[in-house]
Copies of this chain bind each other. A is one copy, B any other.
Amino acid sequence: MASSDPKRTLTLRDVSEASGVSEMTVSRVLRNRGDVSEATRDRVLEAARRLGYVPNKIAGALASQRVNLVGVIVPSLSNLVFPEVLGGISEELEDTGLQPVFGVTNYSAEKEEAVLYEMLSWRPSGVIIAGLEHSPNARSMLENAGIPIVEIMDVDGDPVDSVVGISHRRAGLEMARAIVKAGYRRIGFLGTKMPHDHRARKRLEGFESGLAEAGIELADREFYSGGSALLKGREMTDAILKRSPDLDFLYYSNDMIGAGGLLYCLDKGIDVPGKVGLAGFNGVDLLDGLPRRLATMDACRREIGQRAAAIISGHHEAGMIGGERIELTPKLQPGDTIRRA
């Protein structure tokens, strides 16, 4: 509260002077480090509290060469998917003394490079970054950072260090197989027009190979960008069904547009899954509240966050090195929008 110069922020020295204890011992008390007598401890804490001292981690980090920050880089926050991943990370880091620091790339490789550079310049204890595709510069920064790196969401590719995710290719493949097995043949795809959403791209690739196994080709496709996903799902569904009325299945690249498609079909009185089957991707819990359960595949978002964070905090505590590879298996949730065999 009281201070001769209210502008300057307090230092250890202020607490030291106020308590009559050496800076070093004050530092020990504030970090619960080393043996300090109960008495001095109390005096120091009292003084620190009274002054309203907040330690300067910048100085501490520089001196100790230790930073309790974990950089987390994701493409988007509006996607609904990533907030959940971040939730898993936050939760797992909760009691480790590590603090997540988020950065957003908007699916831009350039922005990713900038955010990564910025983060690495704070010398974090680890980096969690979405995806396996990075610019050459970004990749080499990651390789040379000298800290644990965990690439998340996707395992189809060549990780820098550790990786935690699912195979989007396989997710697409298995969805295709399930659809074919259920007897659908005229299949359309609806997705985002995101050239840099590599995971959506891989799902589509996997999906097409799954169809190809049965000698089927994608009958039609429809892309969008921006706007309310639910509404877009309606509009796209309308568009694709008008253009290709003979479609008997619609595969959506995410659950939100899939939900829009489902609502559209129900509105129009289209028999789902009899005349047209539907499936999305992600397993968002929004689907629980819809009139009918959309088929989907859980992307294990929360768990991915947790496992990735656990890898970093493990390294942090044990000083381990070496890339782990954790592939989670998304479960197909057939819901009510695929015909039963």
By a beta-carbon cutoff of 8 Å, the part of chain A in contact with chain B is 1, 6-7, 9, 52, 54-59, 61-62, 67, 77-78, 80, 83-84, 86-87, 90, 99-104, 117-118, 120-123, 140-141, 144-146, 227-234, 256, 259-260, 263, 267, 285-291
Contact = CB atoms under 8 A, between A and B. Distances in A.
B56 A123 contact: yes
Copies in the complex: 2
B228 A285 contact: yes
Contacts of A117: 54
B78 A99 contact: no
Nearest to A79: B83
Contacts of A123: 9, 56-58
A229 B286 CA distance: 7
Contacts of A288: 228, 230-231
A260 B289 CA distance: 6
Contacts of A145: 9, 54
A146 B118 CA distance: 24
A290 B230 contact: yes
A152 to B, nearest CB: 16
Contacts of A103: 99
A57 B122 contact: yes
A87 to B, nearest CB: 6
A263 B291 contact: yes
Nearest to A67: B58
16 contacts: A1-B144, A55-B121, A56-B123, A58-B122, A77-B83, A77-B84, A77-B87, A77-B90, A80-B80, A100-B102, A228-B285, A229-B289, A230-B288, A230-B290, A232-B289, A263-B289
A33 to B, nearest CB: 16
